[in-house]
Amino acid sequence: MQATLASTADGLRSLMRADFTTQWRNRKSVILVLIVPVIILISWKGLVDKFGAVFVLSNCITVGLNAIGLMGYTIAIARDRDRGIFQRLRVSPIPSWTIMMSRISVQLLMILLLTVCVYFFGYNIDKISISPAGYVLGFLAALVGGAVYLGLGQMIVGLIKNAETVNSTTRLVYFAFIMVGMFGELGVLGKQISEISKWSPYGAVRRILSDAMDPIHWNQESTMTLFVTIGYAVLFTVLGIKWFRWNSK
Amino acid sequence: MIKESNGYILEVKNLNVFYGNFQAVKEVSFSVKGGEIFGLLGPNGAGKTSSLSSVEGLLKPQSGSITVAGIDTTQDPLHARANMGVQLQSTNFQPELRVEEIIRLYGGVHGVKLSKDDIAKILNDIKLSDAGKKPFGQLSGGQQQRVSLVIALLHQPPLVLLDEPTTGLDPQSRRQLWERMEGLREKGHGILLTTHSMEEAEAVCDRIAIIDHGRIIATDTPAALVEKHRHDEPVVRASRKGRITLEDVFIGLTGSDIRE
């Protein structure tokens, strides 16, 4: 009898195939994640002239990143942990990091889909067109912003073991971010909230998206906001990894 | 290269496992040979699953050593796990995946490349030819156990770990699983089995260890344990209708109080 040890690449490839298949079979949840930004694009058509194209696009992408990180990724991790799926994978001869790397790679694809979707509908519905550099840099900024929300989601699932509690917490956080972040920045909730939301995870992500899509106006404050965003991503991810338990029991 | 250290495919020595300040496993030592079914029996909370989880690498013991096929599980966990096939107590797979996709996934993580024909043959061997395209969650309990076991064996591991595999199964499914376990034994696999069932322990185990309050209190063949303890007062008191069974020995050694 001989036991074989798969290469890490083969193991990761098998995991990714399974995780992408799982995501494909959950197409309805993918559509739900993408549809909210599209609805915002449609309803904010009249605000494009007032606030600018990149403001509208960046808000839509930020809302979508919020959903991907908090609702999609976090709830799936909590649910699968509760079911014992991770335990079964962890008794296999693959490094634990490959399990999470595979999950993250699915979310990276979701971020790409989101960005393309917002660009596409932004162009076709709101007649928004930005420079080629803006499209590319916007996507890169979306990846950084995605890291913030994935890290935040990882932190939540690290802090809370019960899958139902994770579910309700992420929904609360999602709505809180949307309300305070989106409406706060519009000035609807007052000047103080507006200032706070500017440096919140929502505001910082939205700002770097907006400035990346309009690179000509990138300035010192944009760079500061980028550092703050990266700081959020690192902090949330480190805490999320530190607190995470593979078993909910 | 597989090494059976002194003829043992699994050696656990002086294992100690803690959950915070609570010591769940105390100086546990046992070994499993190739071609042997070794049972770990104990009441609820005795330390069976904690011991098994330590072997599987899911729990880090405070101290002690565990070697699988001569490989230290703490120094080379991946290679050690490559030599184990594990069926957890409550195995679950991604509900969106079909049975054949799950088989392909676990074949991949174990370095076993499986063609469509290979997977079809595997499903045919466990009489689930029609279940390949079904989600795992749609299978019956017995079918799920068959799939879980075949996934644990895809890479032909020398050591097979089964955590209460017959819990919730009907008598037919249980008997079938016993036959499969005996088939594995004939092929030379070493099997470590945790169970509550005395009937199962007597039916399939070559040797058993009784664990209670984190310690192993007896290790031998089922028949030898009965013979050795048949005159012990607690065992005689536990017996019913004058016949001493393994269950009487178990209750005599661990007590008749209900464990939470």
pLDDT, tens only, B92-109: 798 889 999 999 999 999
Three-state SS for B59? coil
By Cβ distance, the residue of B58, B69, B105 closest to A18 is: B105
Count of residues for chain B?
260
Q: Which residues of B touch A (CB under 8 A)?
A: 1-2, 34, 56-58, 69, 78-79, 81-84, 86, 88, 90-97, 101-102, 104-112, 155-158, 188-189
Specify the 3-state DSSP secondary structure of A90. Answer: helix
How many cross-chain Cβ pairs, A to B, lie less than 8 Å apart? 107
Residue A156 scores a pLDDT above 80: yes
Asked if residue A41 has pLDDT above 60, the reply is yes
Collect contacts of B121-126 with beta carbons under 8 A, ≥24 apart. B122/B150, B122/B154, B123/B99, B125/B150, B126/B150
d(CA B18, CA B30): 19
Average pLDDT value for chain A: 91
Residue A31, Cβ density class (10 Å: 0-12 exposed, 13-18 middle, ≥19 buried): exposed
Q: How confident is the model at residue B2 (pLDDT cuts 50, 70, 90)?
A: very low
pLDDT band at A207 (very low <50, low <70, confident <90, very high): very high
User: Domain for residue B142, yes or no?
Assistant: yes
Is B220 among the domain residues?
Answer: no
CA–CA separation, B137 and B135 (whole Å): 5
Comparing alpha-carbon positions, the chain B residue that sits nearest to A83 is B92
Q: Is the pLDDT of residue B191 over 70?
A: yes
- Looking at residue B16, its pLDDT comes to 96
pLDDT at B1 > cutoff 60: no
**Pairwise pLDDT comparison (B122 vs A182), residue with the higher score:** B122
pLDDT of residue B80: 94
pLDDT at A182: 76
- What percentage of chain B exceeds 90 in pLDDT? 62
Over residues A62-71, mean pLDDT: 93
Structural domain total, chain B: 1
Give the model's pLDDT for residue B247: 85
If 0-12 CB within 10 Å is exposed, 13-18 middle and 19+ buried, where does residue B232 land? Answer: middle
Q: Is residue B58 part of a domain?
A: no
**pLDDT at residue A187, rounded to an integer:** 76
Angle of helix A75-83 versus helix A163-176 axis, rounded to 10: 180
Q: Which domain holds residue B121?
A: 92-156
- Over 90: is that where the pLDDT of A144 sits? yes
Strand ranges inside chain B, DSSP E: 8-19, 22-33, 36-41, 63-68, 71-72, 84-87, 159-163, 190-195, 207-212, 215-220
Query: What is the pTM for the complete model shown?
Result: 0.88
For chain B, first and last CA: distance in Å?
43
Residues in Cβ contact with A236 at an 8 Å cutoff, skipping those fewer than 6 apart:
A148, A151, A152, A154, A155
Lowest mean pLDDT among A12-26, B17-31, B220-234: B220-234
CB contact under 8 A, A22 and B156: no
* Residue B101 maps to a domain: yes
Taking alpha carbons only, the member of B223, B194, B191 closest to residue B210 is: B194
pLDDT value at A189 more than 90:
no
- What is the β-pairing status of strands B159-163 and B84-87? parallel
Distance CA B209, CA B157 (A): 22
| Cα–Cα distance measured from residue A15 to residue A36, given in angstroms and rounded to the nearest whole number | 29
> B185: pLDDT confidence band, cut at 50, 70 and 90?
very high
Residue B147 maps to a domain? yes
Cα–Cα distance measured from residue A12 to residue A99, given in angstroms and rounded to the nearest whole number: 7
- ipTM of this predicted structure: 0.87
Q: Which residue is closest to B97 within chain A, CA to CA?
A: A22
Give phi and psi for B10, each to the nearest 5: -135, 130
pLDDT value of position B12: 97
Task: Report if residue B133 sits inside a domain.
Answer: yes
In a domain, B36, yes or no: no
- Is a pLDDT exceeding 60 seen at residue A2? no
Whether chain B has a CB inside 8 Å of the CB on A223: the answer is no
Cβ neighbours, 10 Å, residue A89: 23
List the single best residue of B105, B136, B148 to mutate versus A (max A Cβ within 10 A).
B105
Distance between CA atoms of residues A155 and A245, nearest Å: 11
Min Cα separation B155/chain A (Å): 6
For residue A220, the one-letter residue type is Q
Quick check: is B116 in a domain?
A: yes
pLDDT, position B260: 60
Q: Who contacts B123 (Cβ-Cβ below 8 Å, separation ≥6)?
A: B99, B100, B103, B129, B131, B132
User: What contacts A204, CB < 8 A, 6 or more positions away?
Assistant: A148, A198, A225, A228, A229, A232
Q: What is the pLDDT of residue A99?
A: 94
Q: Is the pLDDT of residue A78 over 80?
A: yes
Question: How many Cβ atoms are within 10 Å of B6's Cβ, its own excluded?
Answer: 9
Q: How many C-beta atoms surround the C-beta of residue A239 within 10 A?
A: 16
